[in-house]
Amino acid sequence: MNHLLILGAGTAGTMMANKLRAKLDEAEWEMTIVDKEKAHYYQPGFLFIPFGIYDPERVTRPKADYLPDGVRTLWAEVEKVTPEERTVRLADGRELSYDLLIIATGVTPDPEETPGLHGALWYEDAFDFYTYEGATRLADKLDTWKGGRLVINMSEPTIKCPVAPLEFAFLADTYFTEKGMRDDVEIVFTTPHEGAFTKPIASKALSSLMEKKGIEVVPDFYLMEVDEDEKVLRTYDGKEEPFDLLVSIPTNKGADYVAESDMGDVEDLNFIPTDNHTLQAEHYDDIFVIGDTTNVPTSKAGSVAHFEAEILEENVLSYINGEPLTASFDGHANCFIETGFGKATLIDFNYDTQPLPGKFPIPGLGPMSLLKETRLNHYGKLAFEWVYWHMLLQGRHIPVPTHMSMMGKVPEEEADPELVAA
């Protein structure tokens, strides 16, 4: 009997458990999945909680309900992987061995990485919305907040769902407008990137949208510390931004055990070195890595985990059959961006092609507009919740191609960033 072990039962781990259990013979392959937490959070829903659009209960369901029969589930924290011995040690002392390992333990925000962030102001005047607790507490804060200077900040350039901070800014604009207090709130978006987004056309389009909505963008702002007494953010090069209310996206880190586990050059953020195309761990043939915890140069997003899962399913089966790994991930990412007042925009890109304007065909729903605010995109974003719980986690086919397609897109040379924002 062979043993396939999956670490992490979040978006990516759950998809892989479902896909592979359906494909692997139970008489030949035993499967186990390990997670330290029993609740599955629909993380994209965290964005809506602070504004009272979603109730907190709505985003939480038992992980066990989404895992297939025939997969043993262990609720425990992973403490160390020893690739040379093909073993995994859990915090409760148990040791598991594997023939094939899939790592899907994601990333978590860690406010302690930034001096002054996780101190006296935390959950008083400084909040995150990337966790259930942060989003819920921020909802209470916004409910009674009288206004002032709202500063949104990313501690580090690499975070999961890199568009979520922008969406937060847009939704804050709507929220305060609808409450009749927009004039009492200054919204400032500080980012370590050169602009609102990392790629030029989308960055221009999103920056001008921000400007239109009266949101100030402060680029090249790399946070060093939060001055708790002065309520000021300070960068390494001495720039300062005072705030009344800070919405922080703390440093996103991979799980602690990664650093203990000899996975190669993981730096101090614990992103695992992963082949960009096969999704095999860089140093070990019998380990595959998927989702936010990889170091592949594309967005860390649920949609990315989904496209990766399609590739990984094929490559794991090839590996088991002793065949070459022919499926190749292209970095495809597809993200709806809420822009407020019932509209959203959409970006679709990969390792080689930046987000471009144009149309994005989705059978059944009709073509969506890329880099343009529309109501249909907003409905697409909302529909993603249903798709996530009912199709994506089960590993069902979703009618969006795994590899990015140029169909409908305006080529880079012809794209006019000035026009796409409107």
Partner 1 sequence: MPQVGIAGETIDVNEEGYLTNSEEWTPDVAREIAKVEGIELTDKHWDVLEYLREQHAEGAKLTIRRVGKSDVVDSVKEFYDLFPDGPLKKASKIAGIPKPASCV
Nearer to partner 1, 253 or 372 (CB): 253
Report phi then psi at 89, rounded to 5: -105, 135
CB of 349 to partner 1, least distance (A): 8
**Do 394 and 66 touch, CB atoms closer than 8 A?**
yes
Of residues 187 through 226, those in contact with ligand FAD by CB under 6 A are none
Closest separation between CB of residue 299 and partner 1, Å?
Answer: 5
Please give the residues from 247 up to 266 whose contact with ligand FAD meets the rule CB under 6 A: 255, 257
Residue 335: phi, psi to the nearest 5? Answer: -135, 125
* 302, 331, 358, 380: residue in contact with ligand FAD (rule CB under 6 A): 302
Q: Which token pair is 253? A: 């880190």
Q: Which does 105 bind (CB under 5 to 8 A by kind): partner 1, ligand FAD, none?
A: ligand FAD
Which one of partner 1, ligand FAD, none interacts with residue 196, CB within 5 to 8 A by kind? none
Q: From the list ligand FAD, partner 1, none, which binds 133 (C-beta under 5 to 8 Å, kind-based)?
A: none
Does 47 contact ligand FAD by CB under 6 A?
yes
- Rounded least distance, CB 422 to partner 1, Å: 24
Nearer to partner 1, 238 or 363 (CB): 238
Tell me the two tokens of residue 8: 């992490």
CB-wise, 11 or 207, nearer to ligand FAD? Answer: 11
Please give, one letter per residue, the 3-state secondary structure of 164-226.
Answer: HHHHHHHHHHHHHHHCCCHHHEEEEEECCCCCCCCCHHHHHHHHHHHHHCCEEEECCCCEEEE
- Residue 2: phi and psi, rounded to 5, are -95, 155
Span interacting with ligand FAD, options 102-110, 138-146, 176-184, 208-216, rule CB under 6 A: 102-110
The two tokens of residue 167 are 């969406």
H-assigned helices in 217-301:
256-260
The answer to whether residue 71 forms part of the interface with ligand FAD (CB under 6 A) is no
CB of 354 to partner 1, least distance (A): 9
Which residues lie near partner 1 (CB under 8 A)?
Answer: 156-158, 162, 193-194, 198-199, 220, 222, 224, 236-237, 265, 267-269, 295, 297-299, 333, 349
Which listed option, ligand FAD, partner 1, none, makes contact with residue 54 (CB within 5 to 8 Å by class)? none
DSSP letters spanning 101-131: EEE---EEE-GGGSTTTTSTTBTTTEE-SSS
Report the C-alpha gap between 210 and 189 in whole angstroms: 9
Rounded Cα distance between 8 and 6, Å, is: 6
Stretch that binds ligand FAD, among 37-45, 189-197, 207-215, 309-317 (CB under 6 A): 37-45
Cβ neighbourhood burial of 403 (10 Å; 0-12, 13-18, 19+): middle
Which of partner 1, ligand FAD, none does residue 222 bind to, with CB < 5 to 8 Å depending on kind?
partner 1
Dihedral of CA atoms 335, 219, 145, 122 in degrees, nearest 10, equals: 90
Task: Give the interface with ligand FAD as residue ranges (CB under 6 A).
Answer: 8-13, 34-37, 43-44, 46-47, 77-78, 104-106, 129-130, 160-161, 164, 255, 257, 291-293, 300-303, 305, 335
